[in-house]
Structure 1
Amino acid sequence: MSGGVDSSVAAYLLLQAGHEVIGVFMRHGEKSPAACHLETPSASRASLPVISRLDHKQGCCTAADAEDARRVSDRLGMPFYALDLNEEFGRIMDYFVAEYARGRTPNPCVQCNNWLKFGKLFDYADSVDARYVATGHYARLAQLADGPALLRGVDASKDQSYVLAGIGRQLLPRMLLPVGGFQKAEIRQMAERIGLRVAQKKDSQEICFVTQGRYDEFVKRRLGDEDRSGEIVTTDGSVVGEHAGIDGFTIGQRKGLGVALGKPAFVVRIEPDTRRVVLGERADLDRTELTAEKANWLVDLPSEVPLRCLAQIRYNAPATPATLELGTEGRFRVVFDTPAQGVTPGQAVVCYAEAEPDRVLGGGWIE
């Protein structure tokens, strides 16, 4: 339970279905810049300080979110526990910083699902003899002829199947995704109807452990004072500026480049060895194919022949027709029918079945 409307209504739906539900909140240990105070002096609440304000909806793991999750659990009459996953979140932070330092763009939310929500939480579930782990993700599960399947959520604008594609196939039978069959508006209406104060709470938009400033500032604080500066160049090699670190850039970026070329410019390549950021035109972002590593497949795929699929290269990007070719040692190749823009090393590529476009085949990490 994140303290948001989706996981809160998910808990309600599970209770309505007759499940015995335990609410669990993941604490990451990063302190918010906002001032904190205790809502009550009771010992039971002393470990959950309430954040008085934030300049924006930070993430899903602040102390205020923990308090919201506790209130919902109390309202629904179910037990609630806040798990201290500081050490485990440290692994995600280390990954986040290391990827940016390598000139790649990390996706910590996908890794959080892989390592924590459908990783460590299964360990906790086992410790309390719980059969399932459930979340408020907008995706669905179905039992098909060839086994359990992960499907897109009914609400296309909120679908989160992309960020769940890295979950181990063996865990699908023990997952529950109660809100995936609803529209977001229906979930908010349901929360209003049953009297949950989080009914109109904003969705989380930021990475939960970057509690202040920008991502590059977080990376800088974690890396220290080492020199990461370099040149900003155009595709013809002309030097047009300097930067303080490649961790401040991502493929496809247009704003905040620190240079003015008199025409739109985009980050088309990041070179970690030379520490150069290469700018070009929009057309320079076109890619006809990509390679990926660390594949995770949720279905049995034929390894001897290419497979038609729909490939999605970012959370908010459409899935486009492509051909999937399996390699060795967890690597694969995706060839697009039409060039894709903004193929970004470090991001996940998720493949969906061409004949069943809602069904997740699996995916991996773009090289």
Structure 2
Amino acid sequence: MARVVLAMSGGVDSSTAAGLLLEAGHEVVGLFMRHGIESSCRLPQEGTLPIAKKQGCCSAADAADARAVAQRLKIPFYALNFEEEFGTIVEYFVDTYLAGRTPNPCIVCNNDLKFGKLFEYADSIGAEYVATGHYARIVSENGEPALCCGRDAAKDQSYVLFGIRRERLSRIMLPVGDYTKAEIRARAEQLGLRVADKPDSQEICFVPDQDHARVIREARPGRNTAGEIVTTDGEVVGRHDGYERFTIGQRKGLGIAFGEPRYVVRIEPETRRVVVGTRNELACRGLTAVHANWLIDPPTEPIECAVKIRYRSRAVAAVVEPLDETRFHVRFAEPCHGVAPGQAAVCYRENRVLGGGWIDSTEPA
């Protein structure tokens, strides 16, 4: 029916997506994105590496899994070198943490690579569509494509896709979005895919050991980020090895003891201080977001919707007021906790993603 470029990570979701696209009659071209950070070795052939113990998206073992799936399904498979582009994402990751903010590199990767560079590749080979294994859906609403939540609420990934350019929605396929995770694993078994029981990834692809502070140290050797832990009243209650190890709302790993829980409420890169406070002091009544991307006609008046401020957080009722073409203000209907500058604020109406932006500043409750 149509030629489709599929981003293959070597995991069960994108692998099963290939099978679903084939069953629908499409011509599928599998594409693996190499980031060159962990290994610059040549892409392994099937059988030269054991199945990856963790589902990732860029390692040599994941490349072997993706190639094996492509051979099983008899689809063409290519690996493209995105080392330079991934390097830019790592720089963003490092710089954001050093600015006292919490980055979301997966959103940047989706915007710039999966739904950016892959479209350039698709155009170069005459492919009509780009597909991924994300748990989200593209549905038609009033005759236009809309980005919506996946059927499996526990796995929904629509939050990390808010930055897709609106005009590209009509050329995107998300085959697994209509299934639950259990159903996808069952389909993978039926297709005879060796990744059917491969565990889900829980880490950032270029931080496989989940030690993001190590990545920052290696990128900025000699940078002193150690400092004091203080209360909102300015009382010094401890010291830390680096403020990049903390995020707003964090409770565990502070190394301090109080009669009641304390949370990170502010990070001050200029003084290298991490400020802690009570849950009430963590509460936020609003935020300002920048670099807005709308998947509907950009609002010109305040709108009522629900806003998510982290990938796994629940959406909170709010009023979103546009400030200009690239900025908007969010006023929560109830105090929101753990709102971290650097993360995304994504707007929903029921299951549809309206758009979103990057949290720039917050307002205490």
Matching residue of 1:281: 278
Whether 1:328 and 2:328 are equivalent positions in the alignment is no
Distance in 2 separating the partners of 1:219 and 1:342: 23
> Secondary structure, in 3 states, of the residue corresponding to 2:164?
coil
Once the two structures are superposed, what CA deviation does each residue of 1:58-86 show, in whole Å capped at 9, x if it has no partner? Answer: 63211111100000000000010111111
Q: Residue 213 of structure 2 aligns to a residue in which SS?
A: helix
Tell me if structure 2 keeps the 8 A contact 1:26–1:83: yes
1:27 aligns with 2:34: yes
TM-score calculated relative to the size of structure 1: 0.92
- In structure 1, C-alpha distance between the alignment counterparts of 2:43 and 2:154, rounded to whole Å: 39
Q: Summarize the alignment of residues 289-328 of structure 1 with structure 2, pairs less than 5 Å apart.
A: 289-303=286-300, 305-328=301-324
Kindly indicate whether the alpha-carbon contact (under 8 Å) linking 1:58 and 1:208 is maintained by their aligned counterparts in 2. Answer: no
Alignment correspondent of 2:20: 13
Matched, 1:363 2:356: yes
Counterpart position of 2:107? 110
C-alpha distance after superposition, 1:17-66 (max 9, x if no partner): 1111000011111226xxx9x9xxxx984799737876xx3632111111
Residues 1:138 and 2:131 are matched in the alignment: no
| Per-residue deviation, 1:301 | 3.5
Aligned position for 1:272: 269
Q: Residue 355 of structure 2 aligns to a residue in which SS? A: strand
Which amino acid counterpart does residue 330 of structure 1 have in structure 2? Answer: T
- What is the letter of the counterpart of residue 308 of structure 1? E
Deviations along 1:123-151, one digit per CA (max 9) or x if unpaired, are 11111111110000010001221521001
How far, CA to CA, are the matches of 2:190 and 2:18 in structure 1?
15
- Give 1:192's aligned residue: 189
* Correspondence 1:337 to 2:333: yes
> d(CA) in 2 for partners of 1:226 and 1:113?
30
Which amino acid letter does the alignment assign opposite residue 153 of structure 1? G
| RMSD, aligned α-carbons | 2.0
Contact 1:58 1:211 in 2 (8 A): no
Label 1:333 to 1:146 Cα distance change in 2 as closer, same or farther (>3 A): farther
Distance 1:46 1:76, change over 3 A: closer
Partners of 1:44 and 1:209 in 2: CA distance: 17
Distance 2:181 2:214 in 1: 33
When the two structures are superposed, what TM-score results if normalisation uses the length of structure 2? 0.92
* Contact 1:142 1:149 (C-alpha < 8 Å) held by counterparts: yes
Q: Does the Cα contact within 8 Å between 1:49 and 1:63 map onto a contact in 2? A: no
Tell me the CA shift for residue 179 of structure 1. Answer: 0.7
Amino-acid identity (%): 59
Is the Cα–Cα contact under 8 Å of residues 45 and 64 in structure 2 kept in the other structure? no
Question: Would the aligned equivalents of 2:93 and 2:103 in 1 still touch at CA under 8 Å?
Answer: yes
Structure 2 spans left out of the alignment, 5+ residues: 1-7, 361-365
Aligned counterpart, 2:4: none
Residue among 196, 202, 207 paired with 1:205: 202
Q: Report how far residue 205 of structure 1 moved.
A: 0.7
Q: Taking structure 1 as reference, are residues 89 and 62 closer, same or farther at Cα in structure 2, changes over 3 Å only?
A: same
Matched, 1:94 2:94: no
What secondary structure is seen at the aligned counterpart in 2 of 1:170? helix
Measure how far apart 1:262 and its partner are.
Answer: 4.3
- Give the Cα–Cα distance (whole angstroms) in 1 for the partners of residues 22 and 51 of structure 2: 31
Q: 1:234, CA displacement in angstroms?
A: 0.5
User: What amino acid is the match of 2:343?
Assistant: Q
Alpha-carbon distance change, 91 to 179 in structure 1, aligned in 2, over 3 angstroms? same
Shift of 1:194: 1.6
Residue 50 (structure 1) aligns with: 49
Aligned length in residues = 353
**Gapped runs of 5+ residues in structure 1?**
none
1:250 aligns with 2:247: yes
Contact preservation (8 Å) 1:48, 1:66: no
CA distance in 2, matches of 1:170, 1:48: 40
Q: Per-residue displacement from partner, 1:196-246 (whole Å, max 9, x unpaired)?
A: 111110111100001346111211111111222221100111011222221
The answer (yes or no) to whether the contact 1:4–1:198 under 8 Å persists in 2 is yes
* Cα displacement (A) at 1:157: 0.5
* Equivalent-residue separation in structure 1 for 2:229 and 2:278 (angstroms): 14
* Residue of 144, 154, 161 corresponding to 1:157: 154
Supply the AA of the counterpart residue of 1:50: L
